[in-house]
């Protein structure tokens, strides 16, 4: 099935044996051998990363509004509006970087640890929604 463009990857023997066992255990997936199993796993993982990136970008979009909502309940609308305005000024495409910058702003209001919890919770909410909705 291979062609001249194909590349080899190494897997430890333990992992190779485990693949063999999984193929036997789940015949319904139709893996014809270890190579097909690995190809299928990589394809799924890439899809997952891609989906995660989409969700993180969605989380980025909702983050200012959600932060405003949480802070408004937690400490009142004045601080919430101020934090919201500062977050809206962030220009960052990379989701990880963006979240780090939001945490940086939030820590001025609630301290670093709680800022981290709030940002993490907003991302998790999106990811959970993605798992259940997509």
Partner 1 sequence: MKVSTGIRNLDRVMDGGFVERSFNLVYGGGGTGKTLFTMNFLISGAESGKNVLYVTLEETWEDITRKLPPGIKERLNAVSKRFHYLDFGSMRPVLGREILKSDVLQEAISSSVVVNNVSLVGIDGIAPLTLYYDDDRRIRNAIFDLSQSLKSYGVTTVFTSEEIEGRSRYGVEEFVSDSVIRLIYTGRSRRLQVLKTRGSGFIGGLHGFEITNDGLQVYPRVMFSEGKREIRAEAIGISKLDTMIGEVYSGDVILLAGPPGTGKYLFGVQFIKNVCSSGKRALFVSFEDNLPNIKRRLMEMGEASKNCKLVHLDPGDMDLYKLMWEIRDRARDVSRMVIHGINVFSEREEYSDFVHSLFSYTRNEGISTLVTYTIPNIIGTNVIADKHVVNVANHIVKLLFAEINGELKRVLVILKAQSPNHERGLVEYRLGKRGVIIVGKIEEMEGIMSGTPTKQMEIQKRVQKFFK
Question: According to CB under 8 A, which one of 70, 90, 100, 127 is a site residue for partner 1?
Answer: 70
Residue indicated by tokens 């190809």: 39
Question: According to CB under 8 A, which one of 49, 75, 85, 88 is a site residue for partner 1?
Answer: 75
Query: Measured between alpha carbons, how far is 122 from 127 in angstroms, rounded to an integer?
Result: 9
Query: Encoding tokens for residue 75?
Result: 């400490």
Q: Which is nearer to partner 1, 36 or 79 (CB)?
A: 79
Closest separation between CB of residue 73 and partner 1, Å? 5
Query: Encoding tokens for residue 82?
Result: 């101020």
Question: According to CB under 8 A, which one of 40, 94, 112, 131 is a site residue for partner 1?
Answer: 112
Question: According to CB under 8 A, which one of 44, 47, 74, 88 is a site residue for partner 1?
Answer: 74
Query: Measured between alpha carbons, how far is 114 from 119 in angstroms, rounded to an integer?
Result: 9
C-alpha dihedral sign at 94, 70, 84, 108: negative
Asked if 39 touches partner 1 (CB under 8 A), the answer is: no
Closest separation between CB of residue 116 and partner 1, Å? 9
| Cβ neighbours, 10 Å, residue 81 | 13
90 three-class SS = coil
Question: According to CB under 8 A, which one of 62, 107, 127, 130 is a site residue for partner 1?
Answer: 107
> Which 76-95 residues touch partner 1, going by CB under 8 A?
76
38 three-class SS = helix
Binding residues vs partner 1 (CB under 8 A)? 70, 73-76, 107-114, 117-118, 121
């Amino acid at each position: 099935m291979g062609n001249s463009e194909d590349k080899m990857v190494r897997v430890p023997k333990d992992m190779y044996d485990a693949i063999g066992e999984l193929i036997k255990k789940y015949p319904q997936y139709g893996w014809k051998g270890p190579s097909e199993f690995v190809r299928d796993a990589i394809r799924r993982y890439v899809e997952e990363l891609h989906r995660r990136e989409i969700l993180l970008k969605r989380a980025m979009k909702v983050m200012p509004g959600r932060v405003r909502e949480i802070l408004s309940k937690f400490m009142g609308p004045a601080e919430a509006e101020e934090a919201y305005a500062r977050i809206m000024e962030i220009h960052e495409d990379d989701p990880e970087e963006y979240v780090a910058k939001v945490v940086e702003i939030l820590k001025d209001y609630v301290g670093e640890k709680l800022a981290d919890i709030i940002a993490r919770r907003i991302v998790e909410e999106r990811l959970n929604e993605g798992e259940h909705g997509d």
